[in-house]
Amino acid sequence: MDETNNAIRTALADSQRILLMTHERPDGDAIGSLMGLGLALREAGKQVQMVIIDGVQRTFRHLQGAELVEKAITPGWDLSVVVDCSDMHRTGDLLPDQDVGINIDHHITNLNFAKINLVNPKAAATAEIITENLEGWGLNFSQPVANALLTGIISDTIGFRTSNVLPQTLRLAALLMEQGADLPELYNQALVRRSFEAARLWGIGLSRMQRQGRMVWTSISLDERRSVSYPGKDDADLTNILSAIEDTDIAVIFLEKEDQRVKISWRAQPGIDVSNLAVHYGGGGHPAAAGAEIDGAMEEVIPLVLQTTEQLINSNNHSNSLH
């Protein structure tokens, strides 16, 4: 890690124009990591281009600097950096067939696609990795930087509730608070407050929720998303609600997309790894939370995915019964 961090420090110091990217349909960790590192680099005098193909979702636009995030790349950068992204395809193919300078991530399915790869699957969030190493890279914390990074940690740990939260996670959160980050307000913005349209989307998903063994699942069509005027491409964190249902091992949400594609999100209880399931379908993620996109109509994709997901639950229960 020391060698990798030294390489990152050198690369950042030697570059004046830096391009930062993260994955499409960005969550709080993607946005917080991108903005935290991007703002710190700007404050160090670098020319920084922060790019997310889908932009910053409404939930996180209160963060100072959110207006600086663009949706397309402008040529003329010295160094490219990708954060919180397991492979370049997930950026929306922002840089097809081009080398990436630095890859900072915590997804266990990361493909180590850059010249310099700092990937730590044990970290609770990519924002945690950046917080831990920022000063070692020759950069400083300001209040906007701290707010962005703490938002990333809060979001990916669902308010410090995931099983990968360690004492170090809380120490780093405390460090960010000491730099001026407002934990109660950031928690409220990231996890509690939701738009009227998001709540209506929840209503659709919850109204057709079904249980199949120790799995709960639901689906939302493209027309239904449009009918409630929900602007995002995500599920408005409905997975967090489904995964809280008792006697459930895995929650699954199917979102219909344009061009005959379906987005699948899995959320699992501790001890069940859905990341390999996501990889099987061309996606990725964490053991407890993963996703993928599949070509096909909803009526074709849903039974196929439910079958393989149920097989995972059965194999996991069988394995546990042997111990």
pLDDT of residue 317: 63
Q: Are 84 and 21 in contact (CB under 8 A)?
A: no
Q: Tens digits of per-residue pLDDT, 65-114?
A: 999 999 999 999 999 999 999 999 889 888 876 789 999 999 999 999 99
* Whether pTM exceeds 0.95: no
Checking DSSP bridges between strand 250-257 and strand 215-220, what pairing results, if any?
parallel
Measured at the alpha carbon of residue 32, what is the angle toward residues 10 and 26, in degrees to the nearest 5? Answer: 110
pLDDT of residue 322: 38
Q: Tens digits of per-residue pLDDT, 247-261?
A: 999 999 999 998 899
Cα–Cα nearest to 238, from 285, 194, 292: 194
Domains of the chain: residue spans and CATH: 2-192 (3.90.1640.10), 196-321 (3.10.310.30)
Q: Tens digits of per-residue pLDDT, 151-197?
A: 999 999 999 999 899 999 999 999 999 999 999 999 999 999 999 99
